[in-house]
Structure 1
């Protein structure tokens, strides 16, 4: 029976760590240095799964035995059967999340490989809106806001890599007690315009979940 226990962002973290080991094999001849890199990446991988079972830890532990580039590739490939896919959503579900937008343009849901998705994101160029759909605490939530592309690359606050980004600004639904009726607060940050790229590199969901929570209130 296949155990699905690895989320997309965790698989990205493993891939990044194993990539560091591959670089060591390509550029370092000192076995002590390579063993140090191996021990470090193994520790970081295990730390990313605080709730893993003994059987799951046993599979992740194979990172400690990687001894070549081929081993690294085989290890990453073997973990793909353990990926937890993003729960598929329908166009109807998404439109229900954004009831005020009557002509919402939804991305092509049938073309998505949900194993490699942490969040759904897409832009509507006509309205300069960026939409995010995510499973937060077992509930499907959606947020939308304006995006302003930058003319140069910058660091995305979600995947923490230099990419083509935009300033994404969403209005929070939270209102302080005794706030005026016209009160509003916008929350903004720089994030990838291309969510597919972002999903390939995101290794942690803490910032994403905090951002969504701050917006939805």
Structure 2
């Protein structure tokens, strides 16, 4: 049996593609249209994985013959045992990522389903700060920044139209001849609810670029 290999954002992408195919089938689309949607869905799903062995490919390919609502649901359920957990993270590990933050308020980790997150994010309303923890290049990293609530907008992580806040973090990189008081902030609009964001995010490119720009 294959080990867990589907990350949260990949599972979200699969669900999105399954929903599109299911809609085409339920709306009585022409068989050729359904076939085109199916091929497109299959391609996008496979492209989201950098490497798959044959058994994993066979599991993902189970999408191909599906046409009924109950079949789509069974397909998604069949993938759940293969969801890869966000690596175990402890309060101590998180606190080490933010050594300069006094009285850091860490979220209740026992209440988090680590199979259903791509990143760990939370807000400290008292200090108007947001914190993000992620596994970047095999290393646990953390970024903190100013959190300024805004109106509805597009989240740069999940592309959902929802309640967002401007999240701005100070980058650690400096020009070679920069003065000692030089700083540069990088900001993006992000979901105010990281739980909902994690349910929608289907790519981690933007998240990883943001973290790299801030950290390096």
Q: Residue deviations 1:12-71, cap 9 Å, x none?
A: 000000010111122234222112211111111111123111111111111111121111
Corresponding residue number in structure 1 for 2:50: 50
CA–CA distance in structure 2, aligned partners of residues 200 and 124 of structure 1: 21
Corresponding residue number in structure 2 for 1:167: 166
Gaps of 5+ in 1: none
CA–CA distance in structure 1, aligned partners of residues 98 and 178 of structure 2: 25
Aligned partners of 2:95 and 2:104 also within 8 Å: yes
Counterparts in 2 of 1:1-217, with a 5 A limit? 1-150=1-150, 152-217=151-216
CA–CA distance in structure 2, aligned partners of residues 128 and 192 of structure 1: 15
Q: Which runs of 4+ in 1 moved over 6 A?
A: none
CA–CA distance in structure 2, aligned partners of residues 117 and 193 of structure 1: 15
SS at match of 2:106: coil
Moved more, 18-27 or 107-116: 18-27
Give the deviation of 1:5 after TM superposition. 0.8
Aligned partners of 2:22 and 2:67 also within 8 Å: no
Aligned-CA RMSD value: 1.0
CA–CA distance in structure 2, aligned partners of residues 169 and 199 of structure 1: 19
Gaps of 5+ in 2: none
SS at match of 1:49: coil
SS at match of 1:165: strand
